[in-house]
A and B are shown apart, each in its own frame.
Chain A
Amino acid sequence: MRQDAARMPDKKKAHKEIIRGYVLFAATVIAAAIILWIFPDKVSAVTTTTWNYFLEMIMILPAVMIIMGLFSVFVSKELVVKYLGKTSGVKGILLAVFFGALPTGPLYVAFPLAVALRSKGASISNIVIFLSAWACIKLPQELVELQFLGIKFMAARLILTIIFVAIMGLFIERLIEWTDKKRIGVS
């Protein structure tokens, strides 16, 4: 019962958000219609482009959503914390990227997870890498990127992002350790 009560406002909020999305969509269509009414010579160009992008999107969107749904249910938070809490080194970095890339929800879900990871003893670099991978190397994202921007663009950005996110993680770890040591030295 208590759980239900806690979930209720959440559900209501989600419902409201969906309605707001559709209202915004209606407003966009009306605005577009007015613009096209003023510039009738652009009608065919706009509808053709919009239709082509719609087709490209609708061919992959259900599949992407199914992949996201499956991972969000099957990969438990406990599993992530269990594996990432104790691995370090190159293996830790790769695992942090891997778990971050699994499609398991929006970024704000990852923050409490990161806190749990820290209490389990995960290194700062792994936490930073995990968070950044979660934000920008999601599997469904990569699939949509592949569809719209091609394999070269997607692969290059993916590899570069992994490299630089790993460097950033290690750098932030050094920096935080260094400033913490300095503070202990002063006090």
Chain B
Amino acid sequence: MSTTAIIINLLALGCLVFALVKDRHKTEQSIGVAVKSFIRILPTVFIIIVIIGLLMSFVPPDQISRFIGEQAGFGGLLAIAALGAVLYIPAIISFPLAASLLQSGAAVASVAAFITTLTMIGLVTLPLEIKELGKKMAFLRNGLSFIIAIVIALIMGVIL
């Protein structure tokens, strides 16, 4: 087990003990919520890791890096950011996918742009956002999010 995994599990354990001391009933309720979320997200996790397995074995790294690697340039960055904005993948699952892309030749900037637009922009939830908060705020937030995702990605590409 990696250090990171151990830290995450210790953190969960710490929270759990703290919660148990504070309120036993609420803690039981929380575990119920956790089990339900776990069952709900599990098939999607399985699907993604199978896709990762296929992706990394079948698509040669030079193909990936041609489209979203260093030599793909700004166009590749825009394309993958747009893809992230349109797709609706739970964030938790997008990280292993991002790691596999990075490992097979994608640029840091592309991967950062993809994750950032994926989480920050929700075309699926946009109608709801418009309904609740109005057109102006919803469009501004999602539109500007796209721009800052690109900026964040470009900075990350430079510093990492």
Give me the interface of A with B, judged by CB distance under 8 Å. 14, 17-18, 21-22, 24-25, 28-29, 32, 35, 39, 42, 45-47, 49-50, 53-54, 56-57, 59-70, 72-74, 107-108, 111-112, 114-115, 124, 127-128, 131-132, 135-136, 138, 140-141, 143-149, 151-153, 156-157, 160-161, 164-165, 167-168, 171-172, 175-176, 179
Contact = CB atoms under 8 A, between A and B. Distances in A.
Contacts of B46: 25, 28-29, 54
Contacts of A168: 141, 144-145, 148
Interface residues of B, number: 79
Contacts of A35: 54, 58
Given A24-B47, A156-B160, 17 more contacts: A24-B43, A28-B51, A35-B58, A50-B50, A53-B49, A62-B12, A65-B37, A65-B38, A67-B11, A73-B29, A111-B129, A136-B120, A144-B91, A149-B111, A160-B155, A161-B120, A168-B141
Interface in B12-57: 12-13, 15-16, 19, 22-23, 26-27, 29-35, 37-47, 49-54, 56-57
Contact of A68 (B34, B56, B128): B34
A140 B26 contact: no
A167 to B, nearest CB: 8
Given A46-B54, A146-B4, A147-B95, A70 B19 contact: yes
B40 A63 contact: no
